[in-house]
Amino acid sequence: MALLASLCFSIPTSAFVWFAANRELAFWQGYLGSGWLWGSILLFSVVAFASPRLFPSLIGAIWRVIHRLALGWW
C-alpha cells in the first residue's frame, strides 16, 4: 500500500521538480536526462516503503519549498 501511495504522490512531485530544474538549466544550456526523473521516483518509492512515516513529511516539505519559491517568499 505504501508503494501505491508513493507513486500517487511522488510522480507529480518528481516531474514538477525535474521540469523546474530543467527550465533553470536551459538558461545555462544544461539538461537533466530522464534518468534523473526515474531515479527520483525510485528514491521516493524506496523511502515510502522503508519509512512510511517519513514519506508524508518529506513530500510536504518539498511542496512547502516549491510553494515558497513560486510566491517569492524565500
Read off the pLDDT of residues 24-63 as tens digits, 9 standing for 90 and up.
888 888 888 889 889 888 888 888 888 888 888 888 898 8
Q: Is the pLDDT of residue 13 over 70?
A: yes
Range 17-22 average pLDDT = 85
Q: Which residues contact 6 (CB under 8 A, 6 or more apart)?
A: 44, 45, 47, 48, 49, 55
Neighbouring CB atoms inside 10 A of 32's CB total: 15
Range 2-23 average pLDDT = 81
Residue 7 or residue 15, greater confidence:
15
Model pLDDT, residue 3: 66
Neighbouring CB atoms inside 10 A of 44's CB total: 22
- Residue 72 falls in which region: left (phi positive, over 0), alpha (psi -120 to 50) or beta: left
